[in-house]
Amino acid sequence: MNEEPQINETLVLETIEASFALLELSLEKLAAIAPVTRPEQILELLPSAALHSAKLVVVELIKFDLSAAAEAGELRRLEFYWPVMGRALPQEQIPFDLVLEEVQLLRGAGENPRWEDYRQRFPDLAATIGKWLAGDQPEAFQGATSAVPELQINTLVDDFFVLKQLGQGAFARVYLARQESMQRLVALKATKRGSEEPQALSQLDHPNIVRVYDQREIAEPKTILLYMQYLAGGTLADCIKRLRTTDSKERSGQLVLESIDQNLLSASQSVPEQSPIRTQVSQLPWPELVAWIGIQLADGLGYATRKGIIHRDIKPANILLSAEAIPKLVDFNVSCSGLSGRAGAAAYFGGSLAYMSPEQLQVADPTVRKPATELDGRSDLYALGIVLWELWQGKRPWASQQVAGSWTEAVSIQRSVRNETFATVTPALSATERVLEKVLRRLLAIEPEDRPGSGSEVAGRLRLAFYPDLAQRFEPDPSSVAGRLFNASVLLIGGVLIFGPNTAASVFNYFYNQSRMQELQPLIPKIAEDFEFVAGLVNGIVFPLGGILFWMVMRPIVRIVHQARKGLPASPKDITTLLNIGNLATIVCGILWTVSGVVFATTFASMHSEFGGADAFHFFISLVLCGGVAWVYPYFGMTLLALLIYYPQAIAPTMNDPEFDQRCQRIRNHSRWYLLSAAAIPLTAVALLVLRAEIPRQTLVAGCCITGVGLLASFFAFQKLEQTMQQLSKVLGDHKRSVW
């Protein structure tokens, strides 16, 4: 929300911000007299001390007057203003965007500007002008020549009783008003340039977006009234001003509250006395406060983007603060009409140039034909990155000392500095600051493809600033154990975790049943030899079957991990498949052991009539129990692998999983059952062994030891799963950090 500019008119303009501030003041004066009858009237609006450094202001005032004259039916040429304007802007230094304004006004009036005419008048700009003459006319800035509507204080305007003026910009005034029909305080924005999509804006209902109720139009004075939620806590720009006069060691959440309280008292509003949120904010270290604000703003931008709305004008002045320090986005600039330098655009967008993304600066550059429709939500995220960097460090990443002489030059300067490297003023010493810096640097990537893809992802990554150790799960060091496992062969790791325990159980079962066959040899001739034959037959069936089932189960996991390595997001269905891999691995193992038991028992029964039902049942049970032991461990191994290694990478591109809590509950339910099985099945097997008096004592001891080790390993795996889910819930669960 634009504030009333202030400038010391006795000083030379040394910064681009000072130029835009003077421009707003001058445009307000010019709007009352435009179009001028004498070019000297434009120079008289400027302080004499600033004339030689106010080229940009002069250019924009001439644009404004040209447009006002065209609206009055008079098509002026730039020669009307020279040689008088030569005192501030020599004629040979007329910038392209000023010539372009004349061209577009002529075309808008139905005339056909001739390139030959402009080649003679402005030879240095002939080539660029020719490209524009051959293309479409850029959209004019709405309300470019209209005086700022002024409402009388303590009067009823439509449904609003105007209480006082809150601020003023080049094209709007903002008032505090009481809406009589609803008996509520509202911020009333009076402008000639209304929102192009008031219905879309009024549908934005998010805790971090200022609620726009609606807009109305009145005839006298002809004004569009946009009324919205009233917040008296000031803007983030106020906090940054206070920040710059505060030593970095003394910065904390209390600084924000002091800024808010000052604005509340100025607005005759009470300061909340008992507020849990304010108490928490006051205790936040500065980096965490920045992350906390960033989380909410990113959530708001993500919500708006999902609604199909892009802000396009993110800057500290457009972030309001509630009495409880909740940041809220305001002034969604749905349209970018006139951004490429048309009359009035500099005054409206000038303060936003320093926060624009490289692609939005291309839209703003008159020499580049880039339509605003190519912008997406990542442009807003870039601007948010600059805002948060400025809030964290006290200054923007780039600070150009050049004073532009025109809109074209101002945009060019900003485009060039975007390619420069930038460093922190206050080094990132803590783990929280390092996470914060990493997120902000990603937001400030030159190419949109290198930035986070959504506001939800940014919010999720900023939450990691509160839990820096957890950040390693989503971006592990390639040399770390997690990094190596993530980049290793999925089939190799899966094969080890699934077939490793089964191989061990299979060997144990083989020797156990081999000894059993040796015992039956005197009673059933050749049964020991037949056992070796049947074992080979079973292996010939089970191993190929196991390979097929393993590939069927692991193929989707390989695809999901491959996508994650490329930075592509996983679908909800893929995430479900990934986190269910432990159960699928168990099913594979269960099928293989059951097949083995059935084949062994039925084959022996058919080959030897002496091999009775009790022997067959005993044989089958031994396989099932060994398999029961073996299939528990693949569940824990594969579920740990999926949850600790693959899952964070699969959701890293979005940092969002709406079904996280439900998934965790399913994992908990399954894990409890498997933990119980890890104890019950081995103990059952040991009990059956004990019933056989001929079993050697060392076999019983080994069985008990293996049972104990397996149960302990399962218990630790169960605990690790629970710990990991609790950690991830801090950034993914329904109760993840946003506001208290």
3 state DSSP class of 173: strand
The backbone torsions φ and ψ at residue 510, rounded to the nearest 5 degrees and listed phi first, read -60, -50
Q: How far apart are alpha carbons 528 and 518 in whole angstroms?
A: 6
The separation between CA 683 and the C-alpha centre of its own chain, rounded to angstroms, equals: 51
Q: What is the largest CA-CA distance in the chain?
A: 126
Q: Using an 8 Å Cβ cutoff, are 435 and 471 in contact?
A: yes
Contact between residue 418 and residue 446 where contact means Cβ atoms under 8 Å apart: yes
Given a contact cutoff of 8 angstroms between Cβ atoms, the answer to whether 75 and 106 are in contact is yes
CA-to-CA distance for 50 and 518, rounded, in angstroms?
Answer: 108
Name, in order, each residue with C-beta under 8 angstroms of 454's C-beta and a sequence gap of 6 or more.
302, 305, 377, 654, 656
Dist CA 713 CA 528 (whole Å): 36
Neighbour count for residue 429 (Cβ, 10 Å): 10
Contact 260, 269 (CB under 8 A): no
The closest alpha carbon to 611, from 507, 506, 519, belongs to 519
In order of 151, 177, 269, 637, the CA distances from 183 in angstroms are: 20, 10, 17, 62
Of 135, 112, 115, 137, give the one whose Cα is nearest residue 127: 115
Q: Are the CB atoms for 136 and 103 separated by under 8 Å?
A: no
Give the integer Cα–Cα distance in Å for 143 and 650: 48
How far is C-alpha 261 from the chain's CA centre? 30
Sort 213 into a burial class: Cβ within 10 Å, 0-12 / 13-18 / 19+: middle
Would the annotation count 189 as a binding residue? yes
Is the distance from CB of 654 to CB of 453 less than 8 angstroms? yes
Q: How many residues does the chain have?
A: 740
Residue 70: which residues within 8 A CB-CB, separation 6 or more?
76, 105, 108, 109
Q: Are 22 and 7 in contact (CB under 8 A)?
A: yes
- Please state whether the peptide bond connecting residue 83 to the residue before it is cis, i.e. omega within 30 degrees of 0: yes
Q: Residue 212: helix, strand or coil by DSSP?
A: strand
Q: 227 by DSSP, 3-state: which? A: strand
DSSP string of 143-163?
TTTPPPP-PPTTSEETTEEEE
What separation, in Å, do the N-terminal and C-terminal C-alpha atoms of the chain show? 26
Q: What is the DSSP string of 479-536?
A: TSHHHHHHHS-HHHHHHHHHHHHHHHHHHHHHHHHHHHHHHHTTTSTTHHHHHHHHHH
Tell how far CA 252 is from the center of its chain: 24
**Of 290, 235, 288, residue with least CA distance to 266:** 235
Q: Report residue 130: phi and psi, to 5°.
A: -60, -40
The structure tokens listed for 73 are 């039916």
Annotation: binding site for ATP: 189
Q: Which residues are annotated as a binding site?
A: 189
